[in-house]
Amino acid sequence: MAITTATAIALAGLTVGVGSAVASTRAQKMQAAAQQRAQQVQVRRQRRAAIRSNRLATARAQATAAGTGTADSSGLSGGLGGAASNLFSGLGTGTQLSAISGQISKYGLQASQYQALGGLGMQAFQFGMDQGAFKKPTTTQTGKIPADPNTLY
């Protein structure tokens, strides 16, 4: 049994449509994962902002201690040392967010492209179906007894 052009177009369109839908879903999942990573980086940034705020409070405490004559106390020195160690832990979050934002955009674009390709594939499938794909051939196509062209094989 020979495959008609309409059937070939319908099968190719269906294949592209389904494959593109799967690829689009995969790209959307990757985009969601990248968005989650971006949120995690933002949470870390907020924590570091709290640390910076705490450092400002420590500086105020140091100024107050200097004013009261307790600037050389071990309690104040320990507090200042702890605040200083946390200060530099936040470097690089801007670069991380920029890279993750680029990934989010890339995956979103891929998902859109796959959705568009899937739409084209489904249009080709519909065109093939409209042209008689998967229908019994008529007598003009086979030279035999007429068949109902609306009946599937």
Does the pLDDT value for residue 107 go beyond 70?
yes
Structure confidence by residue, pLDDT tens digits, 62-98: 787 787 776 676 666 666 666 656 555 555 566 677 7
Does the pLDDT value for residue 153 go beyond 70?
no
> What amino acid occupies position 47?
R
Region 142-152: mean pLDDT is 57
Does the pLDDT value for residue 136 go beyond 70?
no
The span from the CA of 31 to the CA of 33, in Å, is: 5
pTM of the model: 0.49
Across the chain, what does the average pLDDT equal? 75
Region 35-59: mean pLDDT is 78
SS (H, E, C) 65-104: HHHHCCCCCHHHHHHHHHHHHHHHHHCCHHHHHHHHHHHH
Token pair for 153: 């094989």
The span from the CA of 36 to the CA of 46, in Å, is: 15
The span from the CA of 102 to the CA of 99, in Å, is: 5
The span from the CA of 127 to the CA of 10, in Å, is: 7
